Chains A and B, each alone.
Chain A
């Protein structure tokens, strides 16, 4: 319906809005400090170099932050998938009283402002000896992703034909075995979708990470990247390089699995 120039403008608006900030830090990451201090500013790097990336890895233990973020995101994803699988199966396949109430309670949890729970969470984690360990983040992240994952898994479980499950149980499987041998494998795409959403949520979180796990050895990327700023100095090219490194894993995930992520987001419609 749109004429050609309008189509180009529409495409430009979408692409600039979506990519400009990421593109800008990518360009900045190739600039030198001298070039950055130059006014008027340059848009394209004059003498592109990779030295900022070397600095990003040597000024701070970026590799360690990456590893920490990866471990926390991965472990909290596994935990949330484990809890969500049980809940989704019980909610879709078993006779339950108060099903509506249980589901509503689950969703209500997603709406709890993490900032309000900072102090008790800090005390709980200290009580459990988990402050400044992965555990302090894994538990709350698993909870934050629980509602989305349960909804996504439940919508996939429903599509598994009951006859398959019944046949397995006639062959002597218990319900639990039917869940792990029949329903779960057939819902693999759903498990995967839920897993990606949980992973991205955990990878992105900042407030709890800042409060519950800020020790040098275990801190995750969003907290670690703040360290590149000095009191009065902002070495932007190096920060940009670190940001690019931090964004790449999630960018790869969403490039590879974009349709899955979108379907998961609209099924779970929970977090923004």
Chain B
């Protein structure tokens, strides 16, 4: 059920208490208070702080206190080759892993939607990758792609191909990180799409069959259009989390070799936490959340229009 249906379906009864009823309003205040306090402390205040800090020079190594420097941090960021490399790598990761996870997820959902005799192993096969922590998935895939002892190189050797040092060569490292990310995230996409598939009435397929549609045609003209809303939800959420990639690249390559696989999140963590360059790190953080907000505003707009 989506937010919109939730909002529409449920209209609190107006007869019992009028809008602005004192007891209702004050009860609502108290009920919403814990959530509001949590959000204020953990999101609203930190966001304000990050924006504020991004206009200051606040390095642990500077002798004076924080100094207001306007947009200087942003100007530095735009000139910083490390930032551009991290932006390029993060975007490349999005461009490969988001469509990748959607395609693999769609394939898995279609397979899982067959009338299996035993449903639980199928469901579990989709749930386990979802429940496996990202950091663990990264470690396991780093092991798969290990030069000497990895499964992938074992298969290559058996096929007569020389082993590849996946995690030591930038382009192969990128590929390995993409594969690990697609594996880890496609099962969540599959679960969302499976729920979508199960809402498509059988009668539509029967009608398509009566009219002589092939499997492909009924997939193309019945399944895909009806699955679009679920695909959109998966697409937007996947894009937002791909922009924030941290765990898998960190666990697989720690951003190496030579910082080639450093994502924006890893760069922010290195700058602000390890080098304690708070002002500059904050400016980078603002750039990342502007990127994320651009994507999430798409979702929020759809949410408001009621198409999700």
Contact = CB atoms under 8 A, between A and B. Distances in A.
B20 A111 contact: no
Give the interface size class of chain B: 35 or more
A211 interface: yes
Interface residues of A, number: 106
**Interface SS of chain B: helix, strand, loop or mixed?**
helix
Contact of A95 (B17, B120, B272): B17
A168 B174 CA distance: 60
Interface stretch (A15-23, A49-57, A59-67): A15-23
B74 interface: no
B158 to A, nearest CB: 8
A5 B274 CA distance: 55
Nearest to B14: A95
A95 B43 contact: no
Contact of B111 (A13, A118, A124): A13
Interface in B252-308: 264-265, 268-269, 272-273, 278, 281-282, 285-286, 288-289, 292-293, 296, 299-300, 303-304
A21 B140 contact: yes
A100 B7 contact: yes
A205 B180 CA distance: 17
B123 A108 contact: no
A116 B285 contact: yes
Nearest to A99: B7
A17 B183 contact: yes
A120 B292 CA distance: 18
Given A146-B38, A206-B134, A251-B128, A117 B47 contact: yes
Interface centre among A82, A104, A117, A271, by most B CB within 10 Å? A117
A81 B38 CA distance: 12
A96 B10 CA distance: 12
Given A84-B35, A113-B244, A115-B285, A107 B133 contact: no
B132 A18 contact: no
B120 A150 contact: no
A122 to B, nearest CB: 7
A18 B187 contact: yes
Contact of B189 (A103, A120, A154, A272): A272
Given A10-B114, A206-B247, A234-B143, 15 more contacts: A21-B129, A87-B32, A97-B19, A111-B293, A113-B244, A113-B292, A117-B50, A120-B47, A155-B1, A155-B6, A175-B23, A175-B24, A175-B27, A250-B132, A269-B2
